[in-house]
Structure 1
Amino acid sequence: MADKKDVASDPRALWLLRRVCCVFAVRRDKIDKFLQQFWADEQSCRALNTFLQEVEVPVIFFHHTSSGETCTAAVGDLPNLAQMKKKVLACVRTLPEAEIELEPGKRPRVVLVEFSKNMMDVINSYCHSVYLSVLMNPANQKGWSDLISRDLIDKFHSYLASLHVTAGLMRGQTLLPLPPREAVLDSTPGGGGVVASKQGPGPGSSATATSTSKDRVHVLEGAVVTWTKQVRYVLKQEPEHVFKDGKHPEPCAELQFWRSRASNLNSIHAQLQMEGVKRVLRFLEANKSTYVAPFSRKEVEDAREEANDNVRFLKTLEGHINTLLSETADFDELDRIFDIVFHVLLLIWRYSKYYNTLSRISVLIRQICNSLIAQATRFISGSSVFEMIAAGEARLPKTPPYNKQTTLQITTNQKQNNH
């Protein structure tokens, strides 16, 4: 209670909480209620008092509650995933052990940093639209040599490219970073300008290296090398990889793999149709660059067609797979469900253009067998079998109204079907 009284009477606490209200967009008529509920939480009051009184505490986090009517505070613990789904605000001391002073003429030595679930997109947007413009402004480069300016801008473009790619990966997408806008101006064979994409720069590119055609070729080749690595990484992913590290995936993993692969390849296909990408590739082809040949768009198109076709056919299995995976499924009905699944699988083998090879269908059959094993262990656990053997029981009890013979019969039937 002492912490609550101390912090409630501290003008620094009220100053800080009013800024929290601004960030969390609390309406004016709701501010008093917001603060009252915050003061009612002793743990939050204690955390705020600790941050204000102990200068060695560098940061305090404010978490917007699910109701949106107030917030909670914590020091020492980073926000978890559940808290990151709502707004999170961090109040950070600008200097180690800096005091928060509100006296006239002095600035409180703290900064407020807002976190959200799409944090990478926010950072990506700020870096491209704000910081890049500031850095490229000649007024901000006074006193810099050409070497320093070129090196700094080159490294910043490399950082922006990595940031752009990372933001895409966090959304499950492969984003192809384009070179800096300055690097592709006048890069067409006829001298016409290229309208660069807003997606951002490519790694290893120098925004000032556009004075000669040779420099532009070098910059654009760096972008194509990056695209080639990204595309090859996507293309080399195979369904068999889910069995690595001793995992035992079930059929839902196969369906999800092809959905993700189709979505990713469709996204790459759309990016390759962008005018900026086409002009970069045309310019390199006109300059006889050796880096264009390895970047085969035909491989992407073939893989994309296969993924979309497999998704279309495997979708017919989805309802039966969900029944097969259900923990409430009636075990003696699984024999009938397996018959349906394998009948649909036979039709897919017969009519699918791509899912009719042993390497493709064997993965799904292994996963179906994993589902059978999982259902059998739910029905009769291995530990209970050994406990009964140790107890000298000759047979398993018939409660629930199935027994070991049912399990063996169903698993044997599926083994015969697979052969």
Structure 2
Amino acid sequence: MAGAEADRENWDILAEYSNKTLRLKADRWGKAVQNEETKNTLLDFLDYDSQLVVVSLNQSNQLVATTEVPAGLRTKGVYFLKASDVPLVRDEESTNVRQHVIFGDISPQPLDQLSTLIEEVIIPMLENPANRGGWPEMVCEDVSHQLYSLRGTVYRMWGQLRGQTLLPLPFGMDTLEKAERHALDTGEMTDSQLKSAIEGVVIKWVHQVDEVLTQDTDHLAALDHFPKPLEEITFWSKRRQNLSHISSQLKDKKVCIR
């Protein structure tokens, strides 16, 4: 395949985006496509049925192209995803690559990227009333709950990777102040959805905090290993920092109701 098509290889658009995004010297792309596997991966994407190609630096700091996101990215990568089934034209004068291929970056920390995607794209899009035309109220509420549940899960995972216990806020916090004033004036909590969300998230908080409080150094010991004093000190120091961080979250003005 590569030999028959060597005279019409035109991937300047992909090369330009990759070099600029990854901040590579121009000759890095030329060296990369000398590798038959990388070259054929790019040609399969441009000329055949392959839908995705990811360009990144491997463990040997070589630029490679793959058909899936590599595990353990060391640095940022880029992806090219076909947006339609329209055949790609690579001739410089009539190319349609920019019109039918989505260009994007892949973070070496995918959880951060997922969190940003949820916060800045998915939630605003699905919470926009203009995008909910004709939806039953029950469906709207369920979608909102699922969105904020997903956000909370990602938020907790993000904290765990950093050794922190993060307490996600419940769905509907933007209406809490109004509901609080109403409850103080009338003695009634009329927003049952918000009340249920707060109760649910507080239960999760209790489990999270209890998990931290019950931690000890037993897990440091193995059959052939006994923790040294420095390991013990490090464990209790991190535990103290985590508890301090939990305390600051619970004292936040968004949580404390006065």
TM-score calculated relative to the size of structure 2: 0.78
Task: Give the aligned residue type for 1:117.
Answer: P
Distance apart, 1:46 and its partner CA: 3.5
Query: How is 1:17-416 mapped onto 2 (pairs within 5 angstroms)?
Result: 17-25=15-23, 30=25, 32-55=26-49, 57-64=50-57, 72-75=63-66, 78-81=69-72, 84-94=73-83, 98=85, 100-102=87-89, 109-180=100-171, 181-188=173-180, 212-243=190-221, 246=223, 248-251=225-228, 252-279=230-257
Distance apart, 1:59 and its partner CA: 2.9
TM-score calculated relative to the size of structure 1: 0.51
Contact persistence 2:165–2:246 (CA under 8 A):
yes
Task: Give the aligned residue type for 1:49.
Answer: L
Report the CA distance shift for 1:142/1:92 in structure 2 as closer, same or farther (over 3 A): same
Whole-Å Cα distance in 2 between the matches of residues 218 and 168 of structure 1? 25
Distance apart, 1:90 and its partner CA: 2.7
Q: 1 or 2, which has the higher helix percentage?
A: 1
Task: Give the aligned residue type for 2:201.
Answer: A
Give the SS at the match of 1:233: helix
Identity %: 23
Of structures 1 and 2, the larger Rg is shown by 1
Contact persistence 2:56–2:76 (CA under 8 A):
yes
Task: Give the aligned residue type for 1:187.
Answer: A
Contact persistence 2:22–2:76 (CA under 8 A):
yes
Question: How many pairs are equivalent?
Answer: 248
Distance apart, 1:191 and its partner CA: 6.0
Whole-Å Cα distance in 2 between the matches of residues 247 and 44 of structure 1? 46
Partner deviation per Cα, 1:331-353 (whole Å, 9 max, x = no partner): xxxxxxxxxxxxxxxxxxxxxxx
Contact persistence 2:164–2:242 (CA under 8 A):
yes
Whole-Å Cα distance in 1 between the matches of residues 22 and 97 of structure 2? 26
Whole-Å Cα distance in 2 between the matches of residues 7 and 168 of structure 1? 49
Contact persistence 1:62–1:73 (CA under 8 A):
yes
Distance apart, 1:215 and its partner CA: 3.9
CA RMSD of aligned residues (A): 3.3
Q: Which runs of 4+ in 1 moved over 6 A?
A: 65-68, 104-107
Whole-Å Cα distance in 2 between the matches of residues 238 and 90 of structure 1? 43
User: For structure 2, which runs of at least 5 residues remain unmatched after alignment?
Assistant: none
